Amino acid sequence: MRTVRAIDELRSALTPARREGRTIALVPTMGALHEGHISLIRRARRECDVVVVSLFVNPAQFDEHSDLERYPRDERHDGELASQAGADILFAPTVDEMYPAGFATSVEVLGPTERLEGVSRGSEHFRGVSTVVTKLLGMAQPDVAYFGQKDAQQLVVIRRLVTDLNRPVRIQACPTVRERDGLAMSSRNARLDPAERSRAVALSEALRAATQRAAEGERSAEALLDVACAAMLARGVQPEYLELVDPETLQPRDQLTREALLAVAARVGDTRLIDNAILRPSAASSEAALKSGTPHDERLPRKAIA
């Protein structure tokens, strides 16, 4: 694996592959690599000819200065892990290389950024993400870029910008990798002390409780959110947000009549964690809706009935 710091060097390293028609994968990361990142790199290795892993802690997407300062960094170890997982190029630019003096351009996706993380973290967060991802796509010009479902809203935003800006790249979502107890892997988990670490399972337990209730036939968002919230409070964790939303627009949903995204954020100690699950109406509840003669996609949402 070759480590590259300059954008020109990355371009020239990829030119022969592009000329020969080999497929290029990009896996953007902020480092502190864990099994979640590794699963993206391994998949890229299986599916493409050349694998570029970018490692850049992007100051523009941090809404809290202390979060940026405390972000774990260990490039040497990250390089070893990326190489073992099959990366060909580790692209690790400096802040000055990414943001040259006088930098004045940003990419702003409206709509899906105005909810959930966009509310909690402010509009700068997704502006920072959208700008850096647009730049990385321009630098590596990959055929496929790999992102984790763990950051579900980020995926929605990136798909939106790729469509809107006509970027010739396929965005591949990859499943969330979890610890044995269900906690979604995250670079920020390292900051949890042992007591916080055991409470942190509250987020995945909430998702599991709601998924279970949906499988039993529950369709009311209110009821599903109640059961999820109760699971979190039982661990002493207060949700910052806990919402059932449309997986594409991220608008709130009142009924689980078709696939929906259950998204949660919470602080455990000083560490802010997010997680999500896709919920589907159970076959049992679809049958009940059909028997009642109501096409389930046309049922009125609860609020409209009230």
Q: How far is the CB of 140 from ligand AMP (least distance, A)?
A: 15
| Residue 15 vs 84, nearer CB to ligand AMP | 84
Annotated catalytic, 125?
no
Q: How far is the CB of 154 from ligand AMP (least distance, A)?
A: 6
Sheet holding 2-4, edge to edge: 2-4, 89-91, 50-55, 24-29, 144-148, 170-174
- Cα distance between the two ends of the chain: 61
Q: How far is the CB of 67 from ligand AMP (least distance, A)?
A: 12
| Residue 28 vs 281, nearer CB to ligand AMP | 28
Site residues (CB under 6 A) for ligand AMP?
A: 29-30, 36-37, 39-40, 147-148, 150-151, 174, 176-177, 184-187
Q: How far is the CB of 204 from ligand AMP (least distance, A)?
A: 11
Task: Considering the candidates 37, 65, 77, 296, report the single residue annotated as catalytic.
Answer: 37
| Residue 10 vs 32, nearer CB to ligand AMP | 32
Q: Are 19 and 44 in contact (CB under 8 A)?
A: no
| Residue 125 vs 296, nearer CB to ligand AMP | 125
Catalytically active residues are: 37
